[in-house]
């Protein structure tokens, strides 16, 4: 695994944010992401415990299990979507690094801005759709089709919240990078575009 993208992100993090509003928003997002990670870790532990119990109960104790799979899926969905913004803050999502290693630094910065903008658009659409699904499930009382039948607003709410926070994180990173680019003078701007 190449650490080019990780090194580039560490360099971005090392650069101070000159705009006080953006610096405060970045600080608040870091704190929110930090707070969200504790329930994500607990959800993963709970899901693994539930699935382990399910295997033991089903195969060794011959007890039928109805709720365990859905409960574990709900916990995993919640942990996955809640952790998305934290992972994005560190640029830890899976990406194709082949282009990053062959493009000039300036062209790569433009590429990253474009990718961030497209990612924000996709995440905003996904977030909006998740909120509509959540509202529909809440208002109409939708449940799963299993015998346990938990309400579907639970996973939809975690999807909606997680994608909303992820959208804000991506947009914040995009605006911070634009602000850094806009702040530079003509010679720094030329250096920013191509090394």
Please, are residues 10 and 91 in contact by the beta-carbon 8 Å criterion? no
Residue 178 lies in a domain: yes
Cα angle 92, 98, 99 (rounded to 5 degrees) comes to 95
The number of domains in the chain is 1
Q: What confidence tens digit (pLDDT) does each residue in 157-190 have?
A: 999 999 999 999 999 999 998 888 776 655 555 5
Residue 40 lies in a domain: yes
Q: What is the pLDDT of residue 47?
A: 97
Q: What is the mean pLDDT of residues 34-56?
A: 95
Q: What is the pLDDT of residue 185?
A: 53
The token duo for 130 is 């998740």
Q: What confidence tens digit (pLDDT) does each residue in 23-35 have?
A: 899 999 999 999 9
Q: What is the pLDDT of residue 1?
A: 42
Residue 3 lies in a domain: no
Q: Rounded CA gap, 93 and 91, in Å?
A: 6
Residue 7 lies in a domain: no
The domain in which residue 130 lies consists of: 17-193
pTM for the whole thing?
Answer: 0.82
Please, are residues 87 and 165 in contact by the beta-carbon 8 Å criterion? no
Q: What confidence tens digit (pLDDT) does each residue in 117-136 have?
A: 999 999 999 999 999 999 99
Residue 176 lies in a domain: yes
Q: What confidence tens digit (pLDDT) does each residue in 135-148 have?
A: 999 999 999 998 89
Q: What confidence tens digit (pLDDT) does each residue in 84-104 have?
A: 999 999 887 766 677 778 888
Residue 6 lies in a domain: no
Residue 80 lies in a domain: yes
Q: Is 145 exposed, middle or buried (0-12, 13-18, 19+ CB in 10 A)?
A: exposed
Q: What is the pLDDT of residue 102?
A: 85
Q: What is the pLDDT of residue 7?
A: 53
């Amino acid at each position: 695994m190449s650490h080019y993208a990780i090194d580039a992100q560490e360099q971005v993090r090392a650069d101070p944010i000159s705009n006080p509003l953006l610096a405060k928003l970045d600080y608040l997002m870091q704190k929110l992401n930090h707070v969200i990670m504790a329930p994500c870790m607990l959800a993963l532990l709970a899901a693994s415990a539930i699935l382990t119990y399910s295997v033991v109960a089903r195969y060794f104790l011959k007890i039928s299990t109805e709720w365990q799979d859905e409960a574990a899926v709900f916990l995993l969905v919640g942990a996955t979507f809640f952790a998305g913004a934290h992972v994005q803050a560190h640029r830890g999502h899976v990406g194709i690094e082949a282009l990053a290693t062959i493009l000039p630094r300036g062209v790569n910065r433009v590429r990253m801005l474009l990718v961030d903008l497209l990612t924000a658009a996709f995440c905003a659409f996904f977030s909006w759709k998740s909120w509509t699904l959540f509202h529909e499930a809440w208002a109409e009382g939708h449940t799963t089709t299993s015998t346990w039948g938990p309400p579907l607003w639970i996973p939809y709410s975690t999807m909606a919240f997680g994608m909303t926070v992820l959208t804000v994180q991506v947009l914040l990173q995009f605006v911070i990078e634009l602000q850094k680019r806009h702040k530079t003078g003509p010679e720094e701007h030329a250096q920013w575009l191509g090394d």
